[in-house]
Each structure stands twice: as C-alpha cells, then as structure tokens.
Amino acid sequence: MRKCLWLWGLLFFALGFAWSITAERNPCTERISGSAGDVLEDDPVGRLKVYVYELPSKYNKKILQKDPRCLSHMFAAEIFMHRFLLSSPVRTLNPEEADWFYTPIYATCDLTPTGLPLPFKSPRMVRSAIQLISSSWPYWNRTEGADHFFVVPHDFGACFHYQVTDSSLPRLAGILPILRRATLVQTFGQRNHVCLNEGSITIPPYAPPQKMRARQIPPDTPRSIFVYFRGLFCDVNNDPECGYYARGARAAVWENFKSNPLFDISTEHPTTYYEDMQRAIFCLCPLGWAPWSPRLVEAVVFGCIPVIIADDIVLPFADAIPWEEIGVSVAEEDVPKLDKILTSIPSHVILRKQRLLANPSMKRAMLFPQSTLPGDAFHQILNGLARKLPHPKSVYLNPGEKILNWTAGPITDLKPW
C-alpha cells in the first residue's frame, strides 16, 4: 500500500517536472499561436516545388543595373524574392514536377529622379514577359497562369493604372487583365477592393534589416514615449485641403492631438527615428494614399505596438499572424477618440502584446534578410503558396480553351515593350 502511494507520488512529481521543462517559461516573450496554428514556424521545404523561368535580363538584371536604388527602397521585395528562389531548396529545374511557376520581372524598378516608381510602363513589360513565356513554355497556356505567381509590391499591387477606379472604364481599372488568374504576392491589401484578388498573398513591404539591427538600443532603456509617429499629415502638393490623402485620417490625427504631450507626432525626419521607435509604446500606422506602409514592419521589429488606422485593410500574412492580438486596430471615424481608446487598454493586455512582439519569430517573419533565415518573410510566402496546394482541377484548362482577354486594356498598353 505504501509502495503504491510512493510510486504514485513519484509519477506525479516526474510529470510535473517534465511539464515545467517543456512549458514555455520565458517571461519575456510569448509564443504566437496563429489562427492557423503556429504556422509561422512551418518549413516550406518539401511541401512545394517552384520553377523559375529564365527570362532575358532585360526584364530583371538590366533594369536593376540602370538603377541600383531599387535594392533599398520599400519595393525591393521583388528583387530579393528572385534571388532567394534561385538558391532555395524549393527550386526545381524540372518544370514538369513544379507546383508553382515564378516569373522574375522587376516591374517596380522604373524610378523617377526622386526615387518614386512609375508603374505606367509596367503593363507592357508584364505583357511582353507573359507572351514570351507562353510561347516558349507550355505551362502558361495549360492553366492561363493559375499556377503562376508574381511579386507585385507596388502601391496598389497589380493595378498599374491605380488612379482609375471607375467601373465605367473597365479597360483601365483593376488588376491587369492577364494577371487575373495568377496568384499575386503584393503588399497592398484592402477588403472588397478591385486591386486585391481572392487568394492573393499579402506581404510586408521591404525594410532594410541590417540598418534596423545596427540601430538597436539597449533593451533596458525605458519606453517613455506614449504614442509616436513621423510622417506627412497632409500631402499639400497633391491635396491641399487634406481631404483625400489618407481619407482625412492623418489630418484628423494632427488636428486632434498636435497639442497633446503624450503624442510625439510631427513631420520631421529625425536621424534618431529608429531609436525613438524603440522608446515608444505605441506607434501609429495610419494609411496614406495606400493603406499599407513600412511603419508596420518597423514597429514590429522595434517592439512598438502598431496602431493601425486603415479601414478594411488586409495585413501581411493575415492567415498566419493574429494581428488583433499583436496590434491595435482603430477605425478611421474613431480617430478623435484615439487617446481614450489607447488609455483604456488594460495594462496586462499591453504587456502581453509587447511579449508577443518580442518573440523573435514574429520579427523574422516581417523581414527579408540578405542571407535567408528560417521563418523569414520568404519562407512565409512559400508557406502561403504551399497552403494553396494542391491546385483544384478547375485551374487546368482544356487545350485551346481561353479565358483571359489578351486585348483588354488601353491601346498604349498593348504596344510591345
């Protein structure tokens, strides 16, 4: 009898000990249980195969040579994705066994002297590339692009004529017609918007990882700024009344909180921008002309809770990252009450969000490092593509069947590139 008790006691003790070892005991960070169940740490290798088309260098390398600024601006993901895929284990040289096909076109690398991309020639470029691949390989015609993916990190994704949203001009509005069946990997995400296809993968914009790592301050520096934001409130060159830019939300933030000492907001470009973000508790990420911005990536990397002010935005990797638990979402109409909303968050919730942000896998998932790490944004893109497999039977077309309208679009877009 006593022996039994002793044995039971030992068993319980052993179980408790084992549980305490395996449970996450790190008080600093917390595991993110994603909505799809810890998918941030999935390894895509072995789950999919990607074939990279060999396009002439005028579509990629030559453009980059003309303007090396493309490697450091926020649209650089398209270039780094190409480089990553060329040396990744998911790449296959046999197109017959590939699940996905990648076309390396640097469509966002045509820059103005000030460094902003002009997407107006991109339709012609994409069109000419697709004509090339459809004539040299049979895989495009097999599915009309449904098992192909393209990286289009521009402001409005693959809507190269982004000014046009009127449905009376369908030839201009929306996603480029020939890309409508392909999977688009883009930074733009807004629900019920023509520029976001069902099944697109939203990614974060490119932010330079080395620069951010180099400017880290000691973690015991107390966070003394309550809310931080640096950027434009009103794009006076294009919208003097400030009613169009950011749908009036940024101007509302300024008007309501410019005199509030808790809100460190201004239009300056300080040299200590990264360091300041590490000393702030909340970082505002309001929409601009487009709903996304690199501020989200910077906030996550520096441990500042992102306050997202963009109605209907689709955040990066939304099916893998539970953004409501990590950041704070504020409707644009609630901007005048922003201080009340932020101060009414209980402090244990704030501390939990900070712990989730401190998780290194969270930070890695937002970055495109030069030498790839497990769990970084490249892997998350591949995870997203792997989750869409296997392709449904409907993507495969009968020979001779055509769905896409190759002549859609303005006459200028149909000119060869």
Partner 1 sequence: MKLSALQQSYLGRRSNSFRSSGPLDSSSDGAFKSPAAVFWLVLHGLSCLISLLLGFRFSRLVFLLLSTSSTYTSPFHSPTELAKTLDIRSVIPADPVGNVPLPFPNKTATNSRVVVGRHGIRIRPWPHPNPVEVMKAHRIIERVQTEQRLQFGVKDPRKIIVVTPTYVRTFQSLHLTGVMHSLMLVPYDLVWIVVEAGGVSNETASLIAKSGLRTIHVGFNQRMPNSWDGRHKLETKMRLRGLRIVREKKLDGIVIFADDSNMHSMELFDEIQNVKWFGAVSVGILASSANIDETVVEKRGEEENPRMPVQGPACNVSNMLAGWHTFNTLPFAGKSAVYIDDRATVLPRKLEWSGFILNSSLLWKDGDKPEWMKDIDTLDGDIESPLDLVKDPSVVEPLGSCGRRVLLWWLRVEARADSKFPPRWIIDPPLEITVPSKRTPWPDTPPELPSHEKPVIRIQEPIIKHTTKTRTSRSKRRSKRKHDETRTDRGTTGFDKTLQN
Q: Which residues in the 217-256 window bind partner 1 by CB under 8 A?
A: 218-220, 222-224, 226, 235, 237-239, 241-244, 247-249, 251-252, 255-256
Region 9-68 residues binding partner 1, contact defined as CB under 8 A: 27-28
d(CA 318, CA 334): 23
Window contacting partner 1 (CB under 8 A); options: 43-51, 98-106, 123-131, 160-168: 160-168
Instruction: Choose which of 37, 46, 68, 261 interacts with partner 1 (CB under 8 A).
Output: 261
- 271 vs 343, beta carbon nearer partner 1: 343
Window contacting partner 1 (CB under 8 A); options: 95-103, 158-166, 178-186, 366-374: 158-166
Rule CB under 8 A: say whether 398 interacts with partner 1. Answer: no
Instruction: Choose which of 350, 373, 397, 404 interacts with partner 1 (CB under 8 A).
Output: 350
d(CA 156, CA 152): 9
Residues 6+ apart with CB under 8 A from 266: 229, 230
Rule CB under 8 A: say whether 120 interacts with partner 1. Answer: yes
- The string over 86-107, giving b where at least 16 C-beta atoms fall within 10 Å of a residue's C-beta and e elsewhere, is eebebebeeeeebbbbbbbbbb
Q: Min. distance of Cβ 132 from partner 1 in angstroms?
A: 25
- 52 vs 283, beta carbon nearer partner 1: 283
Torsion 338-339-340-341 (CA) sign: positive
Contacts 24+ apart (CB under 8 A), 269-275: 269/230, 270/230, 273/230, 274/211, 274/212, 274/215, 274/298, 274/302, 275/215, 275/217
- 344 vs 394, beta carbon nearer partner 1: 344
- 27 vs 399, beta carbon nearer partner 1: 27
Q: Number of residues in contact with partner 1, rule: CB under 8 A?
A: 71
Q: Min. distance of Cβ 361 from partner 1 in angstroms?
A: 19
- 52 vs 281, beta carbon nearer partner 1: 281
- Backbone φ and ψ of 266, nearest 5°: -165, 175
Q: Does residue 380 sit in helix, strand or coil?
A: helix
Window contacting partner 1 (CB under 8 A); options: 64-72, 132-140, 214-222, 266-274: 214-222
C-alpha 116 chain-centroid distance: 19
Which H or E element spans position 51? strand 50-52
Enumerate the β-bridge partners of residue 309: 286
- Backbone φ and ψ of 148, nearest 5°: -110, 150
Pairing type for strands 280-286 and 263-266 reads unpaired
Q: Min. distance of Cβ 321 from partner 1 in angstroms?
A: 22
- 22 vs 347, beta carbon nearer partner 1: 347
Window contacting partner 1 (CB under 8 A); options: 131-139, 185-193, 360-368, 390-398: 185-193
- Other C-beta atoms closer than 10 Å to the C-beta of 55 total 17
d(CA 250, CA 229): 10
| Both tokens assigned to 243 | 């009613």
Window contacting partner 1 (CB under 8 A); options: 81-89, 186-194, 363-371, 385-393: 186-194
Q: Min. distance of Cβ 74 from partner 1 in angstroms?
A: 14
Rule CB under 8 A: say whether 412 interacts with partner 1. Answer: yes
Q: Min. distance of Cβ 69 from partner 1 in angstroms?
A: 14
| Both tokens assigned to 45 | 């290798």
d(CA 294, CA 204): 7
Region 82-101 residues binding partner 1, contact defined as CB under 8 A: none
Instruction: Choose which of 83, 230, 231, 289 interacts with partner 1 (CB under 8 A).
Output: 289
Q: Min. distance of Cβ 233 from partner 1 in angstroms?
A: 10
Region 307-346 residues binding partner 1, contact defined as CB under 8 A: 311-312, 333, 335-337, 339-340, 342-345
Region 369-388 residues binding partner 1, contact defined as CB under 8 A: none
**Strand positions, DSSP E, 211-279:** 225-230, 263-266
Instruction: Choose which of 14, 71, 116, 414 interacts with partner 1 (CB under 8 A).
Output: 116
Instruction: Choose which of 15, 169, 395, 403 interacts with partner 1 (CB under 8 A).
Output: 169
Q: Min. distance of Cβ 376 from partner 1 in angstroms?
A: 25
Instruction: Choose which of 20, 259, 371, 394 interacts with partner 1 (CB under 8 A).
Output: 259
| Residue ranges in 38-159 assigned as alpha helix (H) | 61-66, 77-86, 122-136, 139-143
State how far the alpha carbon of 241 is from the alpha carbons of 174, 245, 366, in Å: 27, 9, 35
Rule CB under 8 A: say whether 416 interacts with partner 1. Answer: no
